[in-house]
Structure 1
Amino acid sequence: MSQLTPMRSQLIIASTEMLLISDASIPAVDAEFRYYTDDPLAVRLMLSIDQNPAVCWTFGRDLLLIGAQMPSGNGDVQVYPTHDGVIVELHAGDVVAKLLAFGPDLTEFLRRTTTAVPMGSEHLHYDIDAELRGLPLYDTLHEA
């Protein structure tokens, strides 16, 4: 039985501006892509306009990696390349926000994430047993 070697968690951040192309009247959107190596399958996208509180969207890193090259996603988050950059389309009920990301910023962020956690090695950076032990029902299920 293999055991996980504890690894130091690392946070990778890319701060950029995105254009809200679905509503040209809104100024540039401050965007921050975040990747935590101890949550290796997910990317967080923090969005804010002016000085308003940020809104966080969490989605799969693979969706973003694929979407930077070809259309990806069929749910609340869709990502696809264009000649101007990469579109990140966010769906919340009937509201759709289409944001244009600067391609080189996104590419560099993704390069840094795959350097820290290569594709296919995510399981080496995530301790599922520790996550399960942290669930409130874990103790109840294992008392019997």
Structure 2
Amino acid sequence: MRAFTEQLSLRLITGTRRFLDLSARCEYRSDDPYTVRMRFGRDGDDEAQWVLSRDLLLAGLAAPAGHGDVHVEPGDHAHTLITLAAPGGTAVLQIATGVLARFLAATAELVPLGTENARIDWDGCIAELLSA
């Protein structure tokens, strides 16, 4: 298994012209090739983790994408918006598009787009499900 982890800066939009700076530890693993794990925190404290689709993040760089709890879409000319909905509320996060695109390009170096299925240990997944 190979992994790529990077600390990314983003903003939680809390209202008109109001925001809170956050960091997210983003992790991509070759043995879980469809997902990006984002741990959000402030001042180094992890507060929440979300598991997002790599394909959804890529699609949201160019056009609105997502159904359900996660939506990704272009914001202004330099930012991408990630909306996360949970029972406790909704969070709108703003991240520099170039930063997100660079992170996703690094994930494609680990696992090229379209080759994800070949990286999954299907026998191991089935064995784990049957033993639960």
TM-score (norm 2): 0.88
Partner of 1:20: 12
The one-letter code matched in structure 2 to 1:11 is A
Partner of 1:142: none
From the superposition, tell whether residues 112 and 52 of structure 1 become closer, same or farther in structure 2 (CA, over 3 Å). Answer: closer
The structure with more strand, counted as a fraction of residues:
2
The one-letter code matched in structure 1 to 2:54 is R
Distance of 1:66 and 1:73 partners within structure 2 = 9
Deviation at 1:84, TM superposition (A): 3.1
RMSD: 1.8
Per-residue Cα deviation, 1:2-21 (whole angstroms, up to 9, x for no partner): xxxxxxx1111221210111
Distance of 1:105 and 1:99 partners within structure 2 = 14
Counterpart secondary structure, 1:72: coil
- Between 1:51-60 and 1:104-113, the stretch displaced more is 51-60
Aligned length: 130
Deviation at 1:26, TM superposition (A): 5.4
| 1:73-92 equivalences in 2 (<5 Å) | 73-82=66-75, 83-92=77-86
Of all paired residues, the percent bearing the same amino acid is 32
Per-residue Cα deviation, 1:28-71 (whole angstroms, up to 9, x for no partner): 11112211110001111110023433311002111111011111
4+ runs deviating over 6 angstroms = none
Determine which structure has more spread, i.e. the larger CA radius of gyration: 1
Contact 2:4–2:27 (CA<8 Å) still a contact in 1? Answer: yes
Partner of 1:108: 102
The answer on 1:49 being equivalent to 2:42 is yes
TM-score (norm 1): 0.81
